[in-house]
Amino acid sequence: MHQRTGGTIAGGPILAVCGVLAAALVVYSQTVAFAWDEGYHLLAAQLIKAGQRPYLDFLFPQPPLNAYWVAWWMRVFGDSWRTAQALSALETAGAVLLTADFLLRRFPVARWRTAAALTAILLIGLNTMVVEFGAEGQAYGLCLLCIVAAFRLTVMAVETRSWLLPLAAGFFAGAAAAASLLTAPIAPVLLIWMSFYDLTASRKLKFAAFAAGAVIPWLPVLWLFAKAPAVVWFGLAGYNILYRRNGWGDPTGHDIGVLIAWIDSVHALTLGLLAIAGLLFIARKSGWDRRVRAEFYLCGWLALAEAAHLCLGRPTFERYYLLTTPFLAILGAAGLYAIGSGLGDSKRPAPAVAVVAILMSLGLLKALLYQERDAFSWHDLEEIASKVDQVTPRNGTLLADEHVYFLTHRRPPSGMELDYSHRLLISPEFATALHVVLRPELNRRIHAGVYDTIATCEEEKAAAIGIPQLYRRKADIADCSVFWDFKK
């Protein structure tokens, strides 16, 4: 059996570093963090809080667990973007802590345990994609926390006869997928690994417990599916399989660009090269116990399966691959140890860790201070929402992006909950069932003066529709426009 440390989770220094990281992520989440797609996620949570049901009452092209989870916290702290983003930041920090704690407990070389844990914190916590998207209102933070928790519980489950650990492991793996199907491969990889490496004679019981646990987070979806199978299926899968590429001029070229973007990323190169070095070292020269190697190999299988799955997304995006970082970071810690040992400095890990810290810090500073210096923010949208409230009667009709509905606490007209839905190429009858307003009907309503106010950040589309000519008054705010006073 491999060595492990005892005591409570993590150690004092690692806990302190993770605490600093958590504080930094929360500060970032309350000041700078923003992603355009989080608007419909937060609006969905707000609608759920108000008693509406995803799929049945509005189109939501995602699994709903994160929206329900955020809606619950909004009941406690209010339906603000600050609530959702602080929650995501803490979830991301929790995933980093669990990853570091794994290395602190399971890394075979005692003198390198703290260094290995710190390396993982640096590789995940200073990764640009993790910082930027792990602190905003989509499901990335919850997914990171759930997949690492599922991994940790699966590793422990093979050493006990109890069915409770595999049940919990399955629950967290299922919860990750119920928050985002981007994490779908995690559960089957963990289940196969657990069944193969189980040390007890209770494989069948554990298999059943894991599978049962994975189903639990999906029970609300099954309940919704029983009420309207076609509508729920479209929201979960049909939209993404058949219509997600609508509006993309060259999705294949885009995807190829994403898949080779690692060449220009110091973070991706550092993480990837260290992970490869770690795998090669473990396979050829480590001399580590078979059980230890199996756990590190599991990280490799999880990262490989997840990356392959993310490549299939059409279109895919660089930020999706942040879901591989915890497992690559564990392998990366082994890779740094291998490099340090090869340089004859295995007893002094600090210089090697310092190099990683410098590389990751410089890459993050470049992204935050240079590449994102002109980025849009929630504060810009709050200014737009304030103007909308100023010029729109409380019972007036509004056409806007999801963020503006969310910020103004105005319930969107049915069919306006997802801006992307207007471009769907479906029959009017199916659009009605989905609560979708198709583009021709939306344009007709615009020209008929149905909306007292229109707020948009798509100037070219607004001009093509003729919106500037339909309204007497206009305010330009942060590259967006608010139109009101329709020319009757």
Q: What is the pLDDT of residue 278?
A: 95
Segment 59-109, tens digit of pLDDT = 999 999 999 999 999 999 999 999 999 999 999 999 999 999 999 999 999
Q: Residue 8 — very low, low, confident or very high, per pLDDT cuts 50/70/90? A: very low
Q: Does residue 3 have a pLDDT over 90?
A: no
Q: What is the pLDDT of residue 5?
A: 44
Q: Does residue 268 have a pLDDT over 80?
A: yes
The rounded mean pLDDT for the chain is: 91
How much of the chain, in percent, has pLDDT values that exceed 90? 77
Distance CA 25, CA 135 (A): 6
Distance CA 277, CA 338 (A): 7
Distance CA 334, CA 327 (A): 11
Q: What is the pLDDT of residue 9?
A: 64
Q: Does residue 4 have a pLDDT over 50?
A: no
pTM greater than 0.85 (yes/no) = yes
Segment 209-253, tens digit of pLDDT = 999 999 999 999 999 999 999 999 999 999 988 887 776 667 778
Q: What is the pLDDT of residue 340?
A: 85
Distances in whole angstroms, Cα of residue 121 to Cα of each of 98, 103, 114, 130, 332: 10, 10, 11, 11, 11
Angle at 145 between CA 141 and CA 148, to 5 degrees: 140
- Which of 2-11, 75-84, 277-286, 340-349 shows the lowest mean pLDDT across its residues? 2-11
Q: For residues 162, 164, 169 and 174, what is the CA-based torsion angle, rounded to 10 degrees?
A: 140
Segment 139-165, tens digit of pLDDT = 999 999 999 999 999 999 998 888 999
Distance CA 61, CA 171 (A): 22
Segment 388-415, tens digit of pLDDT = 999 999 899 999 999 999 999 999 999 9
